[in-house]
Structure 1
């Protein structure tokens, strides 16, 4: 029996393009080569798809486009099940058994690439179209999770041009600080902690650089915690809970600036420095959120923990980072699960779900 061909998608049209390159390098180098044959598919920032066959180290260095690239297209016909490569007027089809879309943010985690793969009839790792779209939109995901009986931060969502009058009406009942963020964003891009009303409009303009729909959320007292989840339905594996300790300001990651740690103002404890009973409560809440949002495969559920140990939903990342400093693989590794085991389980689950 031959190896399973895995199309690894990386790059993409997103503010998290460079993060994706680092994550993809981790996935590619940890694939079990006795079982899987990776087909490397880069998506340039202008949206062009390219088959890559160069040195792997060029991917995280963002120099991969400089050589060994061939233009390709994904065939939407499900009977073809793969890519079309054209060189010198000659076309060649490349079969894909499954796709691992290591894409972060817009056009990667929002259901668009998932829809394309569904049309092409190709199984893929991670959440489906609906789940990806819900999780990417923080306003929608908060509404769904709240309906499931789990506390979410009080918030408002605003779209397009925002007047002072509209803002004043929407902010009735809010106390500062608040957090302004793009509703569909990641890696903390465009997020601002606002301490006073006079700085609110500037924070909104910053968030709108990344998404015209923005959210304003109440600040939650306490710390941030997270759970890495792998599986489907009732069969879920949860890594160790992590806990973020902020030294100043608030937790935010600028992964392209802080290459070694990804952190500017915080440290992360894995496992969390919390009583076991509290950690189990966090895990149970994360699993309930995972199911409420119809997640499957892999996802990181981010939460707040208040001083009285109430768990509050923050967001779900349906394709979490796999860089050297990313939280998802660190939580799994703390539970004794390697990246190779994660990729194997996720790929097999994608193939099983397709059947």
Structure 2
């Protein structure tokens, strides 16, 4: 019997469209012999929809029109079986599924929300758990933990909305320009700016607050190389992927260069694999250490900054549900997306089985011992 995979994607996030691209690729590459892909699209308003057209890229040209043509649904458990159930009384259906594959990017999904939703309903799910996902999304908390654990990170400051400009300037005093300013809760290169002086910095900080209530400022490395390495949790321990050196035209790889102009990741065409043995080993070892520290599950990606002048490697950030599931990093290792998805799903199912062995509640009902007058029975 095929394993029925509920592919959840979209969501109320500025990375909504990137999530759709990841989901379309995943559903296309799931093994038809082993799995049945059941799409569950979450609109920008947080509503759940289902329909066969969700597997076609052309259906997403007009998102409002798409939602009008889809069936609103919700998730529930019936006698222990997870189900995707239609809303309303007309054309009712209930589709059973076995495991959830969250394919969200950014807040309200990748940030631990999807994992928490699955936990609350006791649904088997893939990828990292609630705490790890939340840390992966919140770059401020993430940097504090990395610093405490002794991992190298670039000098940074965390700025909060509601603080005065004088407070921001005080926090930035120990950093040197140019700086990188970015929202602390985003990915996909959204909202990131490079600034060269204090006036530009203050303006960039104010713009970044449009995306959230805290912002990061980081010292910019001038002689910079950006490196990526993915990891995979397996029954035999963590495995690291090939190491990619990111290439881009401007100072930063921004959202437009990453994604615009193609239905697929435009940056894929510019992949450059790192072949410097000593540096590759350094990146891969650090990736495995970070995986253990944060207890990552499924597939994740670690982004690094390498200062060519000082030969110092810095951890930049952790992505718990990376774009395209970082399939391109595994292809270099001979693992295609179909195989990668199989490993991710099997890891999620095993994680659910492991959680089932733990005590999470008691079979007794304490309320049976409570006196209706307000006191406990004696």
Using the size of structure 2 for normalisation, the TM-score is: 0.86
Query: 1:287 aligns to what?
Result: 288
2:331 to 330, 333, 344: 333
Query: 1:297 aligns to what?
Result: 298
2:247/2:272 contact within 8 Å kept? no
- Between the two structures, name the one with larger relative contact order (CA 8 Å, sep ≥ 6): 1
Distance 2:352 2:264 in 1: 37
Query: 2:374 aligns to what?
Result: none
Between stretches 97-106 and 234-243, larger displacement belongs to 234-243
Unaligned runs of 5+ in 2: 354-378
Between stretches 242-251 and 147-156, larger displacement belongs to 242-251
Query: 1:190 aligns to what?
Result: 191
Task: Pick closer, same or farther for the CA change 1:86–1:149 going to 2, 3 Å.
Answer: same
1:86-101 alignment to 2 at 5 Å? Answer: 86-89=87-90, 91-101=92-102
- The Cα offsets for residues 120-168 of structure 1, whole Å up to 9 and x where unpaired, read as 1111111100000011011111121222221011111122123221111
Query: 2:237 aligns to what?
Result: 235
Distance 1:208 1:78 in 2: 45
1:1-355 alignment to 2 at 5 Å? Answer: 2-54=1-53, 56-58=55-57, 61-63=60-62, 65=66, 68-75=69-76, 79-89=80-90, 91-220=92-221, 221-232=223-234, 235-254=237-256, 255-259=258-262, 262=265, 268-272=270-274, 274-307=275-308, 308-322=310-324, 328-355=326-353
Distance 2:22 2:252 in 1: 24
Distance 1:275 1:237 in 2: 19
1:71/1:86 contact within 8 Å kept? yes
- The Cα offsets for residues 157-200 of structure 1, whole Å up to 9 and x where unpaired, read as 12212322111111112110111111000111111111111101
Bigger proportion of residues as helix: 2
- The Cα offsets for residues 19-40 of structure 1, whole Å up to 9 and x where unpaired, read as 1111111000000011111111
- The Cα offsets for residues 50-84 of structure 1, whole Å up to 9 and x where unpaired, read as 01222622367444725652111122788342322
Unaligned runs of 5+ in 1: none
Between stretches 55-64 and 94-103, larger displacement belongs to 55-64
Between stretches 345-354 and 50-59, larger displacement belongs to 50-59
1:8/1:101 contact within 8 Å kept? yes
Task: Pick closer, same or farther for the CA change 1:124–1:267 going to 2, 3 Å.
Answer: same
Distance 1:10 1:246 in 2: 28
Task: Pick closer, same or farther for the CA change 1:216–1:77 going to 2, 3 Å.
Answer: farther
Q: Secondary structure at the match of 1:350?
A: helix
2:151/2:315 contact within 8 Å kept? yes
- The Cα offsets for residues 308-348 of structure 1, whole Å up to 9 and x where unpaired, read as 432201001111111xxx8x221111111100011000000
Task: Pick closer, same or farther for the CA change 1:216–1:263 going to 2, 3 Å.
Answer: farther
Distance 1:184 1:60 in 2: 29
Displacement of 1:257: 2.6
Distance 2:336 2:124 in 1: 23
Displacement of 1:18: 0.7
1:160/1:213 contact within 8 Å kept? yes
Task: Pick closer, same or farther for the CA change 1:311–1:76 going to 2, 3 Å.
Answer: farther
1:21/1:59 contact within 8 Å kept? no
Displacement of 1:232: 4.8
Distance 2:244 2:323 in 1: 15
Task: Pick closer, same or farther for the CA change 1:226–1:244 going to 2, 3 Å.
Answer: same
1:145/1:152 contact within 8 Å kept? yes
1:329/1:339 contact within 8 Å kept? yes
Equivalent pairs counted in the alignment come to 348
Q: Secondary structure at the match of 2:242?
A: coil
Task: Pick closer, same or farther for the CA change 1:78–1:17 going to 2, 3 Å.
Answer: farther
Between stretches 82-91 and 20-29, larger displacement belongs to 82-91
Bigger radius of gyration among the two: 2
Displacement of 1:261: 6.9
1:246/1:267 contact within 8 Å kept? no
CA RMSD of aligned residues (A): 2.3
